Amino acid sequence: MYKSLTKESSKSFWREQVKKLDAYIPGKSIEETKKEYHLHKVIRLASNESPFGPSPKAIEAMKKEIQDGHLYPDSTCTTLRERLGELHGIDPGSYVVANGADNIINLLIASYVNPGDEVVYCTPTFSEYSKNTLLMGGTTVEVPTSDDFVFDLEMMLEAITEKTKLAIVCNPNNPTGTIVDEDKLRDFLNRLPGHVIPVLDEAYIEFVTHESYATGVEYIKEGFPVISIRTFSKLYGLAGMRVGYAVASEELIEPLLTVREPFACNRIAQAAAVAAIDDYEYIGKVLCENRREMTKMIEKLHSLGFEAEPTHTNFIFVNMKQDSSRLANNLLKKGFIIRPCAPWGYPEHARISIGTAAQNEHFFTVLEQILTER
């Protein structure tokens, strides 16, 4: 007989693993912030989006593709995989494309992690590794990053047991912006036992210019059983379109293709990604301006007495030496959204995305006002 459910009684139907999870709490949206604080303009420096908009070539391609919005997309993302194959020099059969890198992490863990399997990574890092592992009934094994916020690969090796299935290295790491040294990563891959799959989350890898780094693609070409996760959300400015992919040997990719929903990447997103890969003018501009603004922002943050970690991404991990949530709240009222790092256990740190020159200038004017008012 039908009985109306209460919040509590409805929970009794949930899977046990789901009961253990907290829902993802996104930062405030631009729309919400405008409404709540009666603002006309809000700038979000909280989600590591591109401040430059999508690539013009991608915009053109999206406009064209919308005409075919009544047709299902190419389920296998053939054109995009072929283009990725040319870009990376790895066969098109080695890719799985999905609804953002978030979806790829979800597919990867759903494909490989049995209840009781362990997934090793360092913290602070991207929250989706933990959530998806717990969802599958796996065990998260979290080891701290080193004092300079770099993934500690030695500690990760020490944490490996016979139950370990995946070892995830977020490189560069979110929220700290740090990278692991190439020699250390190679040594790690060489010493990892054969029952552990190394995963490199390389959402920000295109921003790295350091002389000592290697991409997952290079290791895959050398025959390492690495799975690399990539996204079009950051460098290519397509966060709203949701396109991410994994690249690995065909054998490692196969279960993700099995688990993936048939139309996990919509046709407008696929067209945008294909066009964006070739927009060298846009890519050059984004990389150049990001680098220039990063240097200026770090200098400015230091001059305000904050500690800003060197970054290899489009965001900066800043020790603001005060309650960063309070500061973020004050910034919110004045139209700027930044990401306080208390949920990662760093209540005085914030993650600030690198904006355009005009956005950053405005941001610092407002930040200085707030600091002098206090």
Residues contributing to the site for ligand PLP (CB under 6 A) = 48, 100-102, 126, 170, 174, 201, 203, 231, 233, 239, 244
Q: How far is the CB of 203 from ligand PLP (least distance, A)?
A: 4
> Any idea what the Cα angle at residue 104 is, between residues 100 and 109, rounded to 5°?
150
Of the pair 124, 138, the CB lying nearest ligand PLP is at: 124
Q: How far is the CB of 175 from ligand PLP (least distance, A)?
A: 8
Of the pair 52, 191, the CB lying nearest ligand PLP is at: 52
Of the pair 94, 174, the CB lying nearest ligand PLP is at: 174
Contact yes or no for 247/205 (Cβ under 8 A): no
Of the pair 239, 342, the CB lying nearest ligand PLP is at: 239
Q: Copy the structure tokens of residue 64.
A: 């064209």
DSSP H/E element including 201: strand 197-201
Q: Copy the structure tokens of residue 326.
A: 């309070």
On the question of a cis peptide bond just before residue 193, with omega within 30 degrees of 0, the verdict is no
Of the pair 50, 231, the CB lying nearest ligand PLP is at: 231
Q: How far is the CB of 32 from ligand PLP (least distance, A)?
A: 19
Of the pair 204, 222, the CB lying nearest ligand PLP is at: 204
What are the residues facing 62 on neighbouring strands? Answer: none
> Environment class of residue 156 by beta-carbon count within 10 Å: exposed (0-12), middle (13-18) or buried (19+)?
buried
Q: How far is the CB of 105 from ligand PLP (least distance, A)?
A: 6
Point out the residue whose Cβ comes nearest to ligand PLP.
100
Q: How far is the CB of 229 from ligand PLP (least distance, A)?
A: 6
Q: Helix, strand or coil for residue 102?
A: helix
Q: How far is the CB of 132 from ligand PLP (least distance, A)?
A: 11
Of the pair 33, 233, the CB lying nearest ligand PLP is at: 233
Q: How far is the CB of 156 from ligand PLP (least distance, A)?
A: 16
d(CA 330, CA 345): 21
On the question of a cis peptide bond just before residue 172, with omega within 30 degrees of 0, the verdict is yes
DSSP H/E element including 36: helix 30-37
Of the pair 102, 279, the CB lying nearest ligand PLP is at: 102
Q: In degrees to the nearest 10, what's the CA dihedral of 155, 156, 158, 162?
A: 170
Q: How far is the CB of 208 from ligand PLP (least distance, A)?
A: 13
- Pairing type for strands 227-231 and 43-44 reads unpaired
- Pairing type for strands 244-247 and 307-308 reads unpaired
